[in-house]
Structures are given as structure tokens and as C-alpha cells.
């Protein structure tokens, strides 16, 4: 039985190397490599694991972004996905999470039938964790966020997941079709394979504009976005920590207590 999975992925700047221009408060994008968002790689990996088990599985990776985001989709194909869809149009540029989920939901509707949508929990550039859940709401799908364990029933009609909470976890059984968001604890994403790299170009990547996904232009783009970034800044460094020394643990604890009392913390 062929299982159809849609994976939502975003091309993001590698935040390990990114800096913020202190004067303008904007990200310095120059020379910063773009990568497949980490949590989205976990989502794709889980989809690929289903495909390893059931080779009929078809995986479509959906993204929204500038034309160069096609590279990230190629990377997903080189990892083993079957098809890519990129929503790319100036009209959707500057979208916040609400507008983005409108556009991505429209693209998924155009793709048609599916059993499962898998997204990463959040993107490392915006850190909102909103787009996945919003897509589910707009498509009227049941959803489970923060998935750290995943098991699909043999009939492929229902899925049991472990959902991470701050102080524990929930085990939830959910019927397909549904939307799940992955966290990094779910799995370790595979690398591209060399064979996959040289076959990626043989697989389709569809680039769709706003027209193609039949989206109401009043619901996408910067203008339509109810939220926008007010200010970005680099927090001031906290300054050096203090290392307390002493011959015994008691002596160190005493010094700590004196210090904290001096600052009126305790």
C-alpha cells in the first residue's frame, strides 16, 4: 500500500555562523551558507524511515522561499525524497507565519491526497514553531507537535507518537491523515548519498507561483502579515563568571552565600 507523505522544509541561514549588524539590527546574510532547517531534516528522516520499510511510500517535500531554495529541495531529493515543490513568488515574500501557512496549505491542497504531513518543530531563523500547527488548523487536520517517537500501525491508518513535554511526555494515538511536527530527539538525519546526489536531477522539482496555488493575494506577503519584526538585536554579553576557590566544599559554599547575600539575592 502506497503511503503518501508530505514533508514541510525550510531553507535557513546557518545560525552557527550568523551575526546581526549592530547598527541596523538586521541579519548579515553575506557569506552565510543556507542549510536545510535542522528539525525539518528530522521530519524528512522519519519519512525516509517509513520509505525504507515500505518502499512504495512517496515523499514530497514542500517549501516556500526564494528560487535558490531549490538547492535545499535537491538536497532532500539526494537524501531520498521523491519530489519537491517550491512556492516562490514575490507576492509571498515577507510573509509571517500566518501568511506562510496560508501559502503552504494552498500548495499542499494542490498536491492533493496524502496520509501524513511531517514538519519540523520550528525553524532556527524565526524560532516560532507556528507554521506547522497553523497549516494543520487551516487544513482541518488533527495534529501532534514535538514528536520524539513515532510508530505507524500496519494498516497505516493510525500512528502512535510520543510527544515531548517540558516535564515528561504524552503517548498519543492519531488517525491519518494528520500533521506531526518533529523534534531533534526523534532521530538522526541521514546524509545525502552519492548515488542520490547524481540522481536528484532526475526527480521533479515543481516551482509554483501564487497563481499556481490559487491563493488569495490578500492572505500572503508582507502587507497581509498581521505580525512583523519590530527589532532584532544581539544581547549584551553578560561578562565573565566568577570562580570561587577554597580548600573545602564548605568554605566555597560560605563564599557563595556571602556573595549572594551581598547582592541581596538571598
Q: In terms of CB distance, is 6 or 200 closer to other proteins?
A: 200
81 counts as binding other proteins under rule CB under 8 A? no
Q: In terms of CB distance, is 140 or 202 closer to other proteins?
A: 202
Q: In terms of CB distance, is 72 or 213 closer to other proteins?
A: 72
Contacts of 144 (CB under 8 A, 6+ apart): 161, 163, 172, 174, 178, 179, 180, 181
194 counts as binding other proteins under rule CB under 8 A? yes
Q: In terms of CB distance, is 45 or 75 closer to other proteins?
A: 75
Is 213 in contact with 71 (CB distance < 8 Å)? no
Which of residues 196, 208, 213, 219 is near other proteins by CB under 8 A?
A: 196
Which of residues 53, 54, 66, 71 is near other proteins by CB under 8 A?
A: 71
254 counts as binding other proteins under rule CB under 8 A? no
Cell readout for 123 is 525553524
156 counts as binding other proteins under rule CB under 8 A? no
Q: How many residues bind other proteins (CB under 8 A)?
A: 15
Is 48 in contact with 80 (CB distance < 8 Å)? yes
Q: In terms of CB distance, is 193 or 234 closer to other proteins?
A: 193
For residue 249, CA distances in Å to 47, 241, 255, 259 come to 51, 19, 10, 15
Q: What is the footprint of other proteins within residues 92-121 (CB under 8 A)? A: none
Cα four-point dihedral sign 172, 114, 46, 185: negative
68 counts as binding other proteins under rule CB under 8 A? no
Cell readout for 106 is 494552498
Select from 69-77, 85-93, 127-135, 204-212 the region that touches other proteins (CB under 8 A): 69-77
44 counts as binding other proteins under rule CB under 8 A? no
Cell readout for 169 is 511526555
204 counts as binding other proteins under rule CB under 8 A? no
Cell 552519492: give the residue: 194
Closest of 164, 165, 171, 170 to residue 186, by C-alpha:
164
State the residues that interact with other proteins by CB under 8 A. 71, 74-75, 78, 191-201
Amino acid at each position: 500500500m502506497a503511503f503518501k507523505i508530505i514533508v514541510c522544509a525550510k531553507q535557513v541561514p546557518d545560525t552557527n555562523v550568523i551575526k546581526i549588524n549592530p547598527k541596523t539590527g538586521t541579519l548579515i546574510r553575506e557569506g552565510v551558507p543556507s542549510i536545510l532547517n535542522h528539525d525539518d531534516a528530522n521530519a524528512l528522516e522519519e519519512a525516509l524511515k517509513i520509505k525504507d520499510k515500505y518502499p512504495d511510500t512517496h515523499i514530497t517535500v514542500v517549501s516556500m522561499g526564494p528560487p535558490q531554495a531549490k538547492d535545499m529541495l535537491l538536497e532532500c531529493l539526494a537524501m531520498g525524497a521523491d519530489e519537491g515543490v517550491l512556492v516562490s513568488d514575490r507576492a509571498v515574500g515577507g510573509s509571517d507565519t500566518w501568511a506562510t501557512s496560508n501559502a503552504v496549505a494552498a500548495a499542499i491542497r494542490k498536491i492533493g491526497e496524502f496520509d501524513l504531513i511531517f514538519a519540523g518543530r520550528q525553524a532556527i531563523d524565526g524560532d516560532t514553531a507556528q507554521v506547522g500547527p497553523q497549516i494543520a488548523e487551516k487544513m482541518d487536520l488533527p495534529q501532534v507537535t514535538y514528536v520524539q517517537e513515532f510508530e505507524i500501525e500496519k494498516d497505516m491508518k493510525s500512528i502512535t507518537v510520543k510527544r515531548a513535554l517540558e516535564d515528561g511526555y504524552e503517548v498519543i494515538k492519531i488517525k491519518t491523515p494528520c500533521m506531526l511536527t518533529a523534534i531533534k530527539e526523534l532521530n538522526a538525519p541521514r546524509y545525502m548519498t552519492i548515488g542520490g546526489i547524481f540522481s536528484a536531477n532526475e526527480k521533479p522539482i515543481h516551482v509554483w507561483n501564487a497563481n499556481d496555488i490559487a491563493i488569495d493575494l490578500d492572505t500572503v506577503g508582507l502587507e497581509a502579515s498581521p505580525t512583523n519584526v519590530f527589532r532584532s538585536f544581539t544581547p549584551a554579553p553578560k561578562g565573565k563568571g566568577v570562580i570561587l576557590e577554597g580548600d573545602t566544599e564548605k568554605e566555597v559554599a560560605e563564599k557563595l552565600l556571602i556573595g549572594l547575600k551581598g547582592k541581596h539575592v538571598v
